[in-house]
Copies of this chain bind each other. A is one copy, B any other.
Amino acid sequence: MTIPEQDPRDAEAAEPTAPVVSEATNRPGISRRGLIGWALGSGVAGLAVGAGGAAAVAATGVLSGSAAADQYAFEGAHQAGITTRVQDHLHFASFDMMPRASREDLISLLQDWSYAASRLAKGLDVSASGAVGGAPDAPPDDTGEAQGLTAAGLTITFGLGPSLFTAEGDRFGVAERRPSVLAELPAFVGDALDAAYTGGDLCIQACADDPQVAVHAVRNLSRIAFGRARLRWSQLGFGRTSRTSADQQTPRNLFGYKDGTANILADDAKALAEHVWVGEQDEPAWMSGGSYLVARRIAMLVETWDRLRLAEQDRTIGRAKGSGAPLSGGGEMTEPVFSGHAIDEHSHVRLAHPTVNEGIRILRRGYNYVDGNNDLGRLDAGLFFLSYQRSPEQFVTLQKRLSTDLMSEYVRHVGSGIWAIPAGVKPGSFVGAELFA
């Protein structure tokens, strides 16, 4: 993304009179009129990118970086980053709206984020002037560390937390439109939640095959949020623990086991309709085509786990460590058989299986993480679990069932969040537009 492309929607920014936000407000100079003609809220017309600067951009407006092959469209029926082939890296971020932020701030933020995300997904800088195409006496719109990199399969997925709908005084004017199923998750057996990794009014899931591209996205979107929302917590993940495409190898989690073998795949339209996408018949109507995301930061007590006998590790999971095959026999893709004694009734594979959970399935796309170590010299390692489902009730049912999971002795849920994931963005619109319609 070395050279900013001249986006047709930025044409107005080339006019010296375009209402670019001033430096004094400390918001990056992104033209919101360029997006959908939304009138500028509290912005003060100031340091506009002059016609000269924009012309210079146009003159060099060649898309140097990304080949289309590693790009996923931001717009679509559903948001990208859910059924998308799971990329190698994650930067997840939870945000809170600023205490005095209004409905207008929320809307403008979602608009600006959508505009930036649509550019980032193409391997472009966050605005037409980008990292180096602006005026030299203005801070660059883009922080610049992704110059020269491709889109790297970047997807940016936005979510709306329950706290948005229950804000004091309903300052965002959305209380009546809260999906009845969108509420803080109940406490589960074994929860050890840390407020530093829990909750948030908004979330961004950025996935890419280059971690610098995912980090660049979250950093720049955080910057765009300045004055309206701020980062509450964030998490990097380095190794996917799931797959959504049949041509992806099943990866391994930090217990050394294949993870995500029985995940819902992107080409299984029936399962997606039944388990992942909010349907037209579901309430509320504005969530149609959306989903619900649950994130759990699951610390894995790897030192303890590593001292278990191999047979006990296998019993706990219900699968063989090498092949990933269920202990009832066959290969990795063989369906486990629970009727015999091969698979322990409290094994993870059994308790998470649809056959003992009223057919419930979820779409997982978690990542391994390691965040240094604690004072005892133990790695702060685990699984950043992300699951998409048509209703949060699916996750709640499964997680309750896992209360007797043999694996629960070796994991601690230390962070948690839930967000409504609106449907995909229509061209010229913004994420969540249906909520405000």
Q: Is there a chain B Cβ closer than 8 Å to A137's Cβ? A: yes
Bound Cα distance A252, B125 (Å): 15
A69 contacts partner chain B, Cβ-Cβ < 8 Å: no
Within the complex, the shortest CB–CB distance from A286 to chain B, in Å, comes to 28
**Closest beta carbon of chain B to A304's beta carbon, Å:** 11
Cβ of A348 under 8 Å from chain B:
no
Whole-angstrom distance between the alpha carbons of A310 and B310 in the complex? 57
Selecting from A10-18, A183-191, A228-236, A264-272, the interface stretch reads A228-236
7 pairs from A and B in contact (CB 8 Å cutoff) = A137-B310, A138-B310, A143-B306, A145-B254, A232-B377, A233-B372, A371-B371
The interface bits of chain A over 14-53 (1 if a CB of B lies within 8 angstroms of the residue's CB, else 0) are 0000000000001000000000000000000000000000
Residue of B nearest to A249 (CB): B148
Q: Find the B residue at minimum CB distance from A303.
A: B223
> Complex formed: what's the CA distance from A234 to B137 in Å?
40
Q: Which one of A128-136, A159-167, A389-397 is at the interface? A: A128-136
Q: B135, B144, B302: which contacts A257 (Cβ < 8 A)? A: B144
For A239, what are the chain B residues with a Cβ–Cβ distance below 8 Å?
A: 145, 211-212, 215
The number of times this chain is found in the oligomer is: 2
Q: Do residues A371 and B372 form an inter-chain contact, with CB atoms below 8 A?
A: yes
Contacts of A145 in B (CB 8 A): 239, 252-256, 368
Contact with B along A362-405 (1 / 0, CB 8 A): 00000010111100111101000000000000000000000000
A311 at the interface (CB under 8 A from B): yes
CB-based nearest B residue for A225: B377
Q: How many residues of A contact B (CB 8 A)?
A: 65
**Interchain nearest-CB distance for A378 vs B (Å):** 7
Q: How far is the CB of A108 from chain B (nearest CB, A)?
A: 19
Q: Does A78 contact B (CB under 8 A)?
A: no
| Chain B: minimal CB distance from A239 (Å) | 4
A134 vs B313: C-alpha distance in the bound complex, in angstroms?
A: 13
Q: Tell whether A321 is near chain B: CB-to-CB under 8 Å.
A: yes
Indicate if the CB atoms of B26 and A307 lie closer than 8 Å: yes
A residues within 8 Å of B by Cβ?
A: 2, 26, 89, 91, 131-132, 134-140, 142-148, 211-212, 215, 219, 222-223, 230-236, 238-239, 249, 252-257, 302-303, 306-311, 313-314, 320-322, 368, 370-373, 376-379, 381
Contact B310 A136 (CB under 8 A): yes
Do B238 and A302 touch across chains, with their CB atoms under 8 A apart? no
Chain B residues near A307 (CB, 8 Å)? 26, 139
Residue of B nearest to A215 (CB): B370
**Shortest distance from the beta carbon of A127 to any chain B beta carbon, whole Å:** 13
A310 touches B140 (CB 8 A): yes
- Specify which of B89, B136, B306 is in contact with A139 (CB 8 Å cutoff): B306
Instruction: Return chain B residues, CB-CB under 8 Å to A230.
Output: 376-377
Residues of chain B with a CB closer than 8 A to A91's CB:
370
Cα A132 to Cα B322 with chains together (Å): 6
Residues of B within 8 A of A144 (CB): 252, 255-257, 321
